[in-house]
Amino acid sequence: MNTPTTIVAPATPHGVGGIAVVRISGPASYKIVQHLSGVALNIRYATYININDLSGNCIDRGIAIFYKKPGSYTGEDVVEISCHGNPVIVQHIVDICCELGATLAEPGEFTRRAFINGKLDLVQAESVGALIQSQSAESASLNLRLLEGDLSKIFAQIKHVLLQSLSSVEFELDVSEEALQPNLQKDLFQNVLLLVDGLSTLLDSYQRGKLLTQGAKVVIVGSPNVGKSTLLNRLVGFDRAITSAEPGTTRDPVDVNLTIGGVSVSLIDTAGLRSATGEIEKEGVSRTLQYAKSADCIIEMYEARETNKEVLSFALPDSIPRIHVFNKTDLLESHKIIALRKTHKNTCFISALSGKGLDELESKIKDTLGLNRALSSDVALTTARQKDSAKNALASINNALGLLSQSTLELELISFELHEALQSIDRILGKTTPDDILNNIFGAFCVGK
């Protein structure tokens, strides 16, 4: 019980860059990275690792360095992972670490630990001081944005229900010397169900919220020469990728940004998937697979005339939603298209060259990314910190639900769980003190003999 927690957070600023660093500090840091990479790290050696998610899919490759305590920034065991500077990847790595037992670092927590372990000298302290300041400024402005938004309203509602429930419980424990309030158990049960509902909905919205703030990644894959680059050029509105009749023209993935359904989408054209012969093309294919694995959506493209030609789609991760597209419909007679439509229900028929069917494709992309729901009025969790809070709160609330289902009402334990949930919510909305609850009691109940 004496071991401190292991914390994780991005150590580089949010945004797209060359590389990003995720820092993990605490006794479990080594094990967590060993788990996600599958390799052992040497102390202070740069190790090239695969960064795998929990089902073992590689989401990125990067460099991990293990600093054994006390020879680290915080004075604890620290692992720093340098990955590609894509916010989606960074977020994903942080999420994986949390799943593996780390908790998200509070602002300034690395520095606090470094300080506690006597690791800071004057120069470091000064520079870190500035960093913390900017961090807290950032979190302040973030909180401000949240406070203006619907999200905070929902959290505030959740908090309100929590406070109300806690006040009824504390009234019983702290003030009342008479029989329990009638309907106490029933009312609490209803409130707790409300909370389960609210928090679950919020958690479901996390993925969508992340797309809103951090954008989506859509990767086009397919055999060589099915028209992937033509599609990209058509969607972006100018000739970004080189196109030619020669298969295998695209070797390096080509990346463009466009807006679909109000969300910034990074569209990536990749090298055609086939059993490549040349060295360069081979590397291109391997990169295609890698990109596809970190996508939010994959466009799997076929030529309408050769629909049964196998793409290397078996190599693509199943967990990522795919859109099947038949291209070059301009080269096919219309009755054949009608016949194909009957056998391929969920497929988009387009002509990248003429632009026909692109509206349908765009709408399909929106569907797949979940962008067709009314996003502006809808509410979504956007940061991993919010998700973490909601998740922890939900766990406590579920415990409370369990306690409320028992025949004997264990009010002090219910109170404990509700308090824990409140603390999780407080990480987003700010501190609740015992006085807040007492104030509530004094306001709502006639107390005192």
Partner 1 sequence: MKHFDFDVVVVGGGHAGVEAVHIASTLGSRTALISLDKAAIARMSCNPAIGGLAKGQIVREIDVLGGLMPRISDQAGIQFKMLNKSKGRSVWSPRAQVDKRLYEKNIQLSLAALTNLTIIQGECVDIATEDDRVSGILLRDGSFVSCKSVVLTCGTFLNGLIHIGDRKIRAGRMGEPSSDGITEALVERGFKAGRLKTGTPPRLVKDSINWEKTKMALGDESPAPFSYRTKGFSPINEPCHQTKTSTACHDIILSNIQMSPMYSGDVFGTGPRYCPSIEDKVHRFSHHDSHTLFLEPEWLGSDQIYINGFSTSLPESVQIRALRETPGLESVEFFRPGYAIEYDFFPPSQLKATLESKQISGLFFAGQINGTSGYEEAAVQGLVAGTNAVKHIENKYPLVLRRDTSYTGVLIDDLITKDTMEPYRMFTSRAEYRLLLRFSNTDRRLIETSKSAGLIDDAYYDEIQKKLELTSQVSQALSSSIAPDEINPRLLQAGEAEIKQKTPANKLLMRPSVTITDLPTRLFENISISEIEPYFVWEAYLEAETEIKYDGYIQRQLRQIDRLKHQESFILPVSIDYLSINSLSLEGREKLNNIRPETLGQAMRISGVSPADISILSVVLAKSKR
**Site residues (vs partner 1, CB under 8 A):** 1-2, 4-5, 106-109, 111-112, 115-116, 120-122, 125-126, 128-129, 132-133, 135-136, 139-140, 170, 172-175, 177-178, 180, 406-408, 410-413, 415-416, 419, 431, 433-435, 437-438, 442, 446-449
Minimum Å gap between C-beta 214 and partner 1 is: 24
Positive or negative CA dihedral for 357, 360, 365, 368?
A: negative
Minimum Å gap between C-beta 354 and partner 1 is: 57
Q: How far apart are CA 169 and CA 172, in angstroms?
A: 5
Measured between alpha carbons, how far is residue 406 from residues 187, 268, 295, 402 in Å? 15, 54, 45, 7
Minimum Å gap between C-beta 81 and partner 1 is: 24
Which residue number, 121 or 333, has a Cβ lying nearer to partner 1?
121
Minimum Å gap between C-beta 139 and partner 1 is: 7
Give the H/E segment covering residue 345: none
Which residue number, 193 or 447, has a Cβ lying nearer to partner 1?
447
Q: What is the DSSP letter of 3?
A: P
Minimum Å gap between C-beta 147 and partner 1 is: 15
Which residue number, 127 or 286, has a Cβ lying nearer to partner 1?
127
Buried (b) or exposed (e) across 173-199, using 16+ Cβ within 10 A?
eebeeeeeeeebbeebbebbebbbebb
Single-letter amino acid code for the residue at 241: A
Measured between alpha carbons, how far is residue 351 from residues 53, 103, 153, 249, 373 in Å? 36, 48, 46, 19, 27
Q: What is the DSSP letter of 173?
A: I
* Residue 65 near residue 44, CB atoms below 8 Å: yes
Minimum Å gap between C-beta 125 and partner 1 is: 4
Which residue number, 5 or 286, has a Cβ lying nearer to partner 1?
5
Which residue number, 233 or 389, has a Cβ lying nearer to partner 1?
389
Which residue number, 355 or 402, has a Cβ lying nearer to partner 1?
402
